[in-house]
Structure 1
Amino acid sequence: MKLLILGGTEFVGRALAEDALARGWEVTVFHRGRHPAPPGAAVLHGDRTAEGGLAALADGEWDLVADTWSGAPGAVRDAARLLAGRAGRYAYVSSRSVHPEPVAAGATEDAPVVEGSPDAGDVPYPQAKRGGELAALDAFGDRALLLRAGLIIGPWENIGRLPWWLLRLARGGPVPVPGPRDAGLQYIDVRDLASWSLDAAARGLGGPYSLISRPGHATMGRLLDACVRVTGSDAQLRWIRPETALSIGVEPWTGLPLWLPEGPTREGIYEGNAEKAHTAGLRCRPVEETVADTWAWLRSVGGRPPLRGDRPAVGIGEEMEARLLAAAG
């Protein structure tokens, strides 16, 4: 298989490239040159947001194009149109965020989606992803595979959610965590996303697929226990009531990454229906493996994960942590 990845050097794109290279595929990555490409991949440079930025893609044919773009949909439109006659299929990494909030528990791919346009400029993330989907569909039709990922974690994570917990727990001592301990988590390891996506594209699948583990694949307690074990620290988890954390001003999801209190937002993110993808072969590795491999990667980069500059920082500071610990008693 000949694979072209628009991106291919960070997180999801890198996982796609590394998985394809391990299969013996011929991989080309098209990117701006800000990060090194995976060893073994051919490289084309260009900036798809600049005039003439797709010039490096003027020639060449590929069996599959994988696109990880999350900005203005017009960039997906231009690339997809340019490649439609020279590529067999187009896999667009979208998001379950295309479903407007609140998303009902158990929502499938058929749930309503936000309005979007392939011609849009800078728009909010849900509309950007929906516009990207429409751009891929407009150019490739049923040859477009829409990968609606949920929460993505694993090695090379450039948002910082799981890395924040690992680095904080590695420092040891008492660590406040809003309960309940058995609150379910639903996510996908980036490598499982990559593996299934390449398999699905090679099989000729098209249309939207929600890519997440089944609800309850892990719990907050199980994930954090795994973090303590792999770091070898003396951290002690201090579980506190969710309402206490909220009253003190902790921001769910960003202040304490991955944490969401009970309510519609939690149901939409952690109780989605992904049976379509699981029936088509999606397999999700144990949370302990994801945690261990992410920690190994973090150590390899000196505990300094390369974070995206277009996303807000995650985590709480010492002052907020002290207030939470005091409330925990």
Structure 2
Amino acid sequence: MRLLVLGGTEFVGRAVVEAALGRGWEVTVFHRGRHQPPAGVRSLHGDRTAPGGLAALRAAGPGGGWDAVVDTWSAAPRAVREAARLLRGRAGRYAYVSSRSVYVWPWPPGAAEDAPLVDGAADAGARDYAADKRGGELAAVDAFGAADSLLVRAGLILGPYENVGRLPWWLTRIARGGPVLAPGPRELPLQYIDARDLAGWLLGALERGLGGPYNLVSPPGHTTMGELLRACVSATGADAELRWTEPEAILAAGIEPWTELPVWVPPGGEMHDAVHRADVSRAVATGLVCRPVEETVADTWRWLSGLGGTGPRRSDRGRPGLDPRVEAKVLGLAGGVPGTTL
């Protein structure tokens, strides 16, 4: 197949490009040139937010077009609208990597693709993440129609090339060794998707001509908080001691779930039910396969170590992770915890 990826040099987009190349596809990437794309692609440069920024895309097209487009945009929906309109008639299908954030909060436990959606507009400027992603969905459907638009509503995404910093924070923290605040319970079930598994499912869906929305994250309980952190200890080979701490003690200390302790949210509340209990039966029935957490963690550490232990970071996202002084206080240590936050 002939694939066009809008982006394709970072995290999910890069995973899609590498997976497509692995299938022997002919891949074109359209990007701003800030990062080197994988070898073997046709590279087009442009800034879709600038006047005339799609010129290189407008002038290109192998044999008149592409079989499919993958778009990971997460800001102003009008950028998706302009690209999708330009590519209408020049590409067969349009896959937009969206988010489960498009559902009205609080997300019902076990929510499927028919859950209520937030308001969004295809021609809008940037508002907030949920509205922007919903607007991007509407832009894709407006240009390509429901049948030829694949809406990939991803949940928590981890794996090599992660530029948000959640799993990299845990890995670098555990690599420093010493007592580590491990948020319990250790059997807390988690849901996430390795970017490479997302890419594999997405490309298979394009081959099969699937359209419409799909929740894309692992089945509930694919792993647990304990398994995730033990995998981090194993991958880093660190002399780290996981000190499992009750959720009540963590919350009483004013520690923010999800942001200060990435991935973790306390059990029993609407946030855990929303983030880690999604219905993904539609994706599983259409071929979603998720690799073991040990593989995701080990490969992420290998990639991160190759960069010197400091991974890339998106400028539009906050800095995840816990202040060592707060960690030490909660653990009741007399001294500090070695090192500093990522």
| Counterpart for residue 306 of structure 1 | 312
| Secondary structure class of the residue paired with 1:193 | helix
* 2:288 maps to which of 282, 285, 300: 282
- Structure-2 separation of matches of 1:115 and 1:146: 16
| Secondary structure class of the residue paired with 2:29 | strand
The answer as to whether partners of 1:101 and 1:265 remain within 8 angstroms in 2 is no
- Structure-1 separation of matches of 2:275 and 2:113: 14
* 2:176 maps to which of 171, 174, 180: 171
- Structure-1 separation of matches of 2:191 and 2:302: 22
| Secondary structure class of the residue paired with 2:51 | coil
| Secondary structure class of the residue paired with 1:156 | coil
- Structure-2 separation of matches of 1:227 and 1:292: 7
Q: After the TM superposition, which of the residue ranges 287-296 and 318-327 deviates more from structure 2?
A: 318-327
- Structure-2 separation of matches of 1:86 and 1:68: 19
User: What CA RMSD, in Å, does the superposition of the two structures yield over aligned residues?
Assistant: 1.0
Q: Which runs of 5+ in 1 are unaligned?
A: none
TM-score by length of 1: 0.98
Residue 177 of structure 1 and its aligned partner are, at CA, apart by 1.6
| Counterpart for residue 182 of structure 1 | 187
Count residues with an aligned counterpart: 328
- Structure-2 separation of matches of 1:146 and 1:122: 19
Q: Which runs of 5+ in 2 are unaligned?
A: 334-342
| Secondary structure class of the residue paired with 1:136 | helix
- Structure-2 separation of matches of 1:8 and 1:37: 7
Quote the sequence identity (%). 64
1:106 aligns with 2:98: no
* 1:63 maps to which of 60, 63, 67: 67
* Partner amino acid, structure 2, of 1:213: S
**Deviation per residue, 1:91-134 (Å, 9 max, x gap):** 00000010011111110001111010001101100000000000
- Structure-2 separation of matches of 1:5 and 1:321: 41
Residue 299 of structure 1 and its aligned partner are, at CA, apart by 0.8
- Structure-2 separation of matches of 1:216 and 1:185: 5
- Structure-1 separation of matches of 2:95 and 2:24: 19
* Partner amino acid, structure 1, of 2:155: G
- Structure-2 separation of matches of 1:214 and 1:317: 32
| Counterpart for residue 123 of structure 1 | 127
- Structure-2 separation of matches of 1:240 and 1:192: 31
* 1:255 maps to which of 257, 260, 274: 260
Residue 248 of structure 1 and its aligned partner are, at CA, apart by 0.8
1:318 aligns with 2:324: yes
**Deviation per residue, 1:131-183 (Å, 9 max, x gap):** 00000000001100000000000000000000100011011110012211100
Matches within 5 A, 1:184-203: 184-203=189-208
The answer as to whether partners of 1:107 and 1:273 remain within 8 angstroms in 2 is yes
| Counterpart for residue 21 of structure 1 | 21
- Structure-1 separation of matches of 2:237 and 2:246: 26
- Structure-2 separation of matches of 1:220 and 1:211: 20
* 1:80 maps to which of 80, 84, 90: 84
Residue 230 of structure 1 and its aligned partner are, at CA, apart by 1.0
- Structure-2 separation of matches of 1:267 and 1:180: 15
- Structure-2 separation of matches of 1:39 and 1:249: 46
1:31 aligns with 2:36: no
Residue 324 of structure 1 and its aligned partner are, at CA, apart by 1.5
* 1:90 maps to which of 82, 94, 100: 94
- Structure-1 separation of matches of 2:104 and 2:320: 23
- Structure-2 separation of matches of 1:28 and 1:47: 15
Which structure 1 residue ranges, 4+ long, deviate > 2 Å from structure 2? none
TM-score by length of 2: 0.95
* 2:241 maps to which of 225, 236, 241: 236
- Structure-1 separation of matches of 2:248 and 2:76: 37
